Amino acid sequence: MEPAEGRAREKKVPREVSGQAPLLHMGVSPHIRAADTTTRIMGWVIIAVLPLTVYGVYIGGFKAFLVIAMSVIGAVATEAIIQRIRHIPVTISDLSALLTGLLLGLTLPPRLPWWIALMGGVAAIALGKQVFGGLGHNIFNPALVGRAVIFVSYPAYMTTSYLVRGQAFVVNTPTIRALNSVTTATPLFVAGQVRDHQLAVNTARYIGPYLWGNPWGCIGEVSAILILLGLGILLYQGLVDWRIPVCMAGTVVLLSWALGMNPILAAVSGGLLFGACFMATDYVTNPMTAWGKVVFSVGCGLVTVVLRFYSNLPEGVMFAILLMNGFTPMIDRYMKPRPFGHKSVVSQA
């Protein structure tokens, strides 16, 4: 192209549109998008656990509030500090660190010393999230990593800082009293021991408190009804896949029933509902595909039952979810959806 011709064309750029010439922005398709943002999603999860948080603090008192506050402060401050050190944008306004701290706080006993909760928040973000590269890159659920760190560091505090210790609710037999002097978190533990000792205990009488006002669990385990309300909010907003809570809790209920435990008690006691609704459903650490989510959550349920019945841990949900988090990359790899029109997935691999 000769320059002269090029100049001539420049002048010919038509200006026949009336009105002020707008500043048009370039961009790639698609040019429109749905309303979802990461911050909005995090915000909705926070709203979903808010009733539970409020009620948990109401039951647990100021100490419970302090636990949650410290865990949130630990998480958010750690996120900001590490991002500063890494010279990357500080993203605490996306609410993800706040949510991690809040979820962690809800899995802690209400009378836990505040400094342990703070350490949990720090560990959740530092060891659970930032060490992997930050949001979206972590393998394990950060809140549960934080909880696991303080659980193994301060097992005594973590198993005794409840409003009411297990023994107060346990039938008055010498065996059980002896067991409880070792410390126990929830009647779940007792139920396991009871089964082993062939003691007939009417565990069903614990169900009522679990539904509304559980005094021997963590802050967020205070009410099964409010947990399900939170799940309802998430499902209504289309933010979680129903398969995960249903498959995880379903697996635990069926297996516990098969092993001789009251299935309703199995469902509502301990951290199962909270874990199934708010922890296993964490986007980052569960598989992407529908069937992958089923495998993941059934696995969570299985491991929970194994730990509840056959280990000397009082509760299995935390380690069950963390363990299955580790399998997520593998599940994603092997349960890749078969692309449209493909005869078999083998030709792709």
Partner 1 sequence: MSGRGYRTFRGGVHPPTHKELSSSKAVTQAPVPAEVVIPLNQHIGAPNVPLVSPGDRVDVGQKIGETEAFVSAPVHSSVAGTVRAVEDVRNFTGAIVRAVVITADAEQPAFAAARMKPVGELTADEIRRLAREGGLVGMGGAAFPTHVKLTPPRDKPVDTVLLNACECEPFLTCDHRLMLERPAHIVEGLKLLVRAVGAERGIIGIEANKMDAVDGLRAAVSSEPGLDVAVLDVKYPEGSEKQLISVVTGRKVPPGMLPGEVGCLVQNVGTSVALYEMASIGKPLYERVVTVTGPGLRSPGNFLAKIGTRISMLIEAAGGWAGEPARLIMGGPMTGWAQEEPVASVVKGTSGVLVLTPELVDARDEHACVRCGKCVEACPMFLMPNYIAEAAIREDWAKAEMYGALDCFECGCCSYTCPAYIPHVSYARKAKAQLAALKKR
H or E element that contains 288? none
Q: Which is nearer to partner 1, 60 or 292 (CB)?
A: 292
Q: Is 38 in the site for partner 1 (CB under 8 A)?
A: yes
Q: Is 14 in the site for partner 1 (CB under 8 A)?
A: yes
Residue 69 C-beta: closest distance to partner 1, Å: 25
The residue from 115, 242, 283, 310 that contacts partner 1 (CB under 8 A) is: 283
The residue from 29, 181, 312, 344 that contacts partner 1 (CB under 8 A) is: 29
| Cα gap 119→108, rounded to integer Å | 12
Q: Is 26 in the site for partner 1 (CB under 8 A)?
A: yes
Helices 96-106 and 114-128 pack at an angle, to 10 degrees, of 130
DSSP 205: G
C-beta atoms surrounding 17 within 10 Å = 8
Instruction: Using the rule CB under 8 A, give the single segment among 64-72, 252-260, 299-307, 341-349 that binds partner 1.
Output: 341-349
Percent helix, strand, coil in the chain, to 5, is 65, 0, 35
Q: Is 20 in the site for partner 1 (CB under 8 A)?
A: yes
Residues 6+ apart with CB under 8 A from 269: 186, 187, 188, 191, 206, 210, 217
The residue from 5, 87, 182, 346 that contacts partner 1 (CB under 8 A) is: 5
Instruction: Using the rule CB under 8 A, give the single segment among 148-156, 157-165, 281-289, 310-318 that binds partner 1.
Output: 281-289
Q: If you search the block for the tokens 């006002």, which residue do you land on?
A: 213
Q: Which is nearer to partner 1, 63 or 129 (CB)?
A: 129
Residue 116 C-beta: closest distance to partner 1, Å: 28
Instruction: Using the rule CB under 8 A, give the single segment among 101-109, 187-195, 254-262, 336-344 that binds partner 1.
Output: 336-344
Q: Which is nearer to partner 1, 197 or 333 (CB)?
A: 333
Interaction pattern, residues 183-222, with partner 1; x per rule: CB under 8 A: ----------------------------------------
Residue 62 C-beta: closest distance to partner 1, Å: 34
C-beta atoms surrounding 334 within 10 Å = 13
| Cα gap 163→218, rounded to integer Å | 9
Distance of CA 147 to the CA centre of its chain: 11
Helices 62-85 and 114-128 pack at an angle, to 10 degrees, of 30
Gyration radius of the chain over CA positions: 25
Q: Which is nearer to partner 1, 17 or 152 (CB)?
A: 17
In degrees, to the nearest 5, what angle opens at C-alpha 191 toward C-alphas 169 and 161?
50
* Residues composing the chain: 349
* Six-digit token string for 27: 């961009």
Q: Is 245 in the site for partner 1 (CB under 8 A)?
A: no
- Nearest one of 156, 204, 199, 147 to 174, comparing CA atoms: 199
* Six-digit token string for 329: 């990359």
HSE value, Cβ hemisphere, 13 Å, CA-based, for 197: 15
Positions 77 through 96 that interact with partner 1 (CB under 8 A): 91, 94, 96
Q: Is 284 in the site for partner 1 (CB under 8 A)?
A: yes
The residue from 3, 4, 32, 181 that contacts partner 1 (CB under 8 A) is: 32
Q: Is 3 in the site for partner 1 (CB under 8 A)?
A: no
Contact 97, 75 (CB under 8 A): yes
Q: Is 139 in the site for partner 1 (CB under 8 A)?
A: no
Q: Is 16 in the site for partner 1 (CB under 8 A)?
A: yes
Residue 135 C-beta: closest distance to partner 1, Å: 4
The residue from 3, 4, 31, 87 that contacts partner 1 (CB under 8 A) is: 31
Report helix, strand or coil for 51.
helix
For binding to partner 1 (CB under 8 A), which residues are involved? 1, 5, 9, 13-34, 36-38, 40-41, 91, 94, 96, 134-137, 241, 283-285, 288-289, 332, 336-343, 348-349
